[in-house]
Amino acid sequence: MTEQKILILDFGGQYNQLIARRVREHHVYCELRPYDTPLEEIRRFAPMGLIFTGGPNSVYLPDAPRVDPGIFALGLPILGICYGCQLLSQMLGGRVVPAQADSAREYGKTETFFDTDCALFKGLPGQSVTWMSHGDYMARIPAGFRLAAHSAACPTAAICDEERRFYGVQFHPEVNHTAYGSQMLRNFLYEICGAAGDWTMAGYREQAVAAIREKVGGGRALLALSGGVDSSVAAALMAEAIGEQLSCVFVDHGLLRKDEGDEVEAAFAGRAMHFHRIDAGPRFLARLSGVTEPEQKRKAIGEEFIRVFEEAGRQIGAADFLVQGTIYPDVIESGKGPAAVIKSHHNVGGLPEHVAFREILEPLRLLFKDEVRQLGRELGLPEALVSRQPFPGPGLAIRIIGEVTEEKLRILREADAIFRQEIAAAGLAGQCSQYFAALTNLRSVGVMGDGRSYDWAVALRSVQTGDFMTADWTRLPYELLDRASVRIVNEVRGVNRVLYDITSKPPATVEYE
Ligand code: XMP
């Protein structure tokens, strides 16, 4: 692992993961840890600088989250953002108060004036737009600090003590609305912390391979491959590290998109490892027979998946390690409280009970999704696989409303392939977050040639989203929708109607079940 690290202390703000991604985009390794991380752990982590994030609290309230005051004596540069800035200020002797309505309280894009002698703003224009979102402000700044930015409403938009290398900004440099936010973070990393920018995926690959080899030794590892980005990249990385000591089990549940199973197999064809493809389509179909209720469908697929995987695992024999494609956002989010269950998500690679293994290995647990994709490219996985849009574990089964049958799977596969081809042909693949066809359980009357038809209606769906928690439907060009519709009705037997879904999430969800 690189020697140069930034530690980000998390006060619960909504942009906190974004701060971490931005730091890494500047090729500096960082981790996000809770704000009350003990001093001893911080010392052990040995960061070259600290960032305090924003958060929903007010620093003057008695139970406001705070850092160990010893943190200010570590001699490390600190950048406080929003709540982090107010905390820095208050703990070092400044005064933070609620802003009166219309005075120093700000929300949204704000024209801001900078002192470009401050290292944080070095080389940037003296005036630009920042993204503000605060109801408190610093009425008095601590001794040793000076003002480094202001806006019309807020005289204390940024502060600095360059001697101790403490910096605080009231706005959010991590969001794109702050015009020079990326450069400000870069200044903090390179000018203030002295970063060299040595965090690259090529470097990560080398270090990860060495670490996996050391950990696994002469042992054996077992991996459930779904064909999704995470498990595929984990498989390629593990294969590079331990070759034949790795067994990958690819359970083809027969609910994949057109040609997908063969593409996954081809991507791993030449690699040193034991690759087992299990064509379990008929078995899943049998299990799904008569099942129409969405949660039951999801549960049946999840259980069947584990069972098939376990059977394969038993045949392969005991493994020392079970490999999982867990990525960093899962690790960070698992610390949060339980949310209401809207759908029971199923990800292949869930824990089998009847497969013997000693330990779980998560070689991607420190990477963000875009870094996982980059690593996949480094490892030579095909672009189609690496840049694949998200695809749910239960596959096409939750895009077929009602009972899943072989005939319906055929219809959906063909229609979905056409829609995806048309999106790609229009050059829109990179701009739509997720797009697919679904098969409704609606049949309706149509006229084809001179005859009457009574066939299925296919729904097309495309959404725009950053986090998939909320999503807006994509305003696709009519011409594109028209081409997709004409082709689907002409080329896919059994379809006489095509609908476009214009519902956002909420109130709908992305998938249909
Ligand atoms: P929803 O339908 O909940 O989908 O709005 C949000 C995102 O999650 C994906 N999704 C799943 N992914 N296993 C997965 O791995 C699942 O069971 C599952 N269900 C939904 C969905 O494709 C979308 O990207």
CA dihedral over 461, 465, 468, 473, signed as positive or negative: negative
Going by C-alpha positions, the residue among 47, 80, 85 that lies closest to residue 195 is 47
The pLDDT value recorded for residue 389 is 92
Looking at the chain, how many residues does it have? Answer: 513
Q: Give Cα 86 distance to the centre of its chain.
A: 29
pLDDT at 365: 93
**What is the C-alpha separation between 182 and 176, in angstroms, rounded?**
8
**209 pLDDT band (50/70/90 cuts)?**
very high
> What is the model's pLDDT at position 355?
77
Tell me how far the alpha carbon of residue 241 lies from the centroid of ligand 1, in angstroms.
Answer: 31
Phi-psi region of 468 (alpha: psi -120 to 50; beta: other; left: phi over 0): left
User: pLDDT per residue over 435-474, tens digit each?
Assistant: 999 999 999 999 988 899 999 999 999 999 988 888 999 9
Closest ligand 1 atom to residue 508 Cα is 5
Residue 397: C-alpha distances to residues 5, 422, 458, 507 (Å) = 44, 23, 14, 21
Mean pLDDT of the chain: 93
Q: Which of 226, 345, 464 to mutate to test the pocket of ligand 1 (most atoms within 8 A of CB)?
A: 345
Residues 6+ apart with CB under 8 A from 373: 229, 233, 386, 387
Distance (angstroms) between ligand 1 centre and the Cα of 497 equals 26
Torsion sign across C-alpha atoms 37, 43, 46, 47:
positive
pLDDT given for residue 335 in this prediction: 52
Task: Read off the tokens for 398.
Answer: 């939750």
For residue range 90-133, what is the model confidence (pLDDT) as tens digits? 999 999 999 876 566 788 899 999 999 999 999 999 999 999 98
pLDDT of 67 above 70:
yes
Query: Whole-angstrom Cα distance, residue 404 to residue 191?
Result: 59
The token pair that represents 316 in the structure block: 């392969």
> How confident is residue 134, by pLDDT bands cut at 50, 70 and 90?
confident
The sign of the dihedral angle between the CA atoms of 136, 142, 148, 154 is positive
Closest CA to 86 of 213, 171, 182: 171
Among 30, 82, 85, 160, the one annotated catalytic? 82
Beta strand 78-81 pairing with 127-134: unpaired
Reported as a single tens digit per residue, the pLDDT across 373-415 is: 999 999 999 998 999 999 999 999 999 999 999 999 999 999 9
Which of 165-174, 244-253, 317-326, 334-343 bottoms out in mean pLDDT, i.e. has the lowest? 334-343
- Cα(263) to centroid(ligand 1), Å: 22
Residue nearest to atom 11 of ligand 1 (CA): 392
Q: Is the pLDDT of residue 332 over 80?
A: no
Pick the CATH number of 201-386 from 3.30.70.2190, 3.40.50.620, 3.20.20.70, 3.40.50.2000: 3.40.50.620
240 in active site: no
Nearest to 456 by CA among 468, 479, 440, 467: 440
Tell me the residue ranges of DSSP E strands in 425-482: 434-448, 451-464, 472-473
Question: Which residues, judged by CB distance below 6 Å to any ligand atom, belong to the binding site of ligand 1?
Answer: 343, 345-347, 390, 392-394, 434, 468, 505, 509-511
Which of 487, 205, 219, 225 minimizes the C-alpha distance to 349?
225
Domain ranges of the chain: 5-192, 201-386, 405-500
Taken in order 413, 415, 417, 420, is the CA torsion positive or negative? negative
In 3D space, the residue among 67, 3, 4 whose CA is nearest the CA of residue 38 turns out to be 67
State yes or no: cis peptide before 507, omega within 30 of 0.
Answer: yes
DSSP 493: T
Residue 102 CA, ligand 1 centroid: distance in Å: 42
Q: For the packed helices 294-316 and 281-288, what is the interaxial angle rounded to 10 degrees?
A: 150
Joined together, the tokens standing for residue 269 give: 């064809």
Tokens of 387: 């840049």
Sign, Cα dihedral of 389, 393, 399, 405: positive
Q: How far is the CA of 438 from the centre of ligand 1 (A)?
A: 14
* pLDDT-derived band at 29, boundaries 50, 70, 90: very high
pLDDT at 337: 39
pLDDT top residue among 325 and 349: 325
Is 82 catalytic? The answer is: yes
Q: How far apart, in whole angstroms, are the C-alpha atoms of residue 59 and residue 370?
A: 34
Does domain 5-192 fall under CATH 3.40.50.880? My reply is yes
Q: How far apart are the first and last CA of the chain?
A: 42
Residue 327: which pLDDT band, with cuts at 50, 70 and 90?
A: very high
DSSP 165-182: TEEEESS-TTSTTSTTHH
Contacts (Cβ under 8 Å, ≥6 apart) of 425: none
Q: Is the pLDDT of residue 339 over 50?
A: no
Question: Looking at residue 133, what is its pLDDT?
Answer: 87
Same fold yes or no, 201-386 and 405-500: no
Residue 295 CB: number of other CB atoms within 10 A? 11
pLDDT band at 61 (very low <50, low <70, confident <90, very high): very high
Atom of ligand 1 nearest to the CA of 345: 17
Per-residue model confidence (pLDDT) at position 107: 85
When the candidates are 3.10.180.10, 3.30.300.10, 2.102.10.10, 3.20.20.100, the CATH number that belongs to 405-500 is 3.30.300.10
Largest CA distance in the chain: 87
For the stretch 137-158, pLDDT in tens is 999 999 999 999 999 989 999 9
Query: Of 468, 474, 501, which is best to mutate to test ligand 1, by the most ligand atoms within 8 angstroms of its C-beta?
Result: 468
User: Which pLDDT value is given to residue 338?
Assistant: 40
**DSSP characters for 289-352?**
TT--SHHHHHHHHHHHHHHHHHHHHHHH---SEEE----HHHHHHTTSPPPP-SS----TTPPP
pLDDT of residue 349: 45
* 346 catalytic per annotation: no
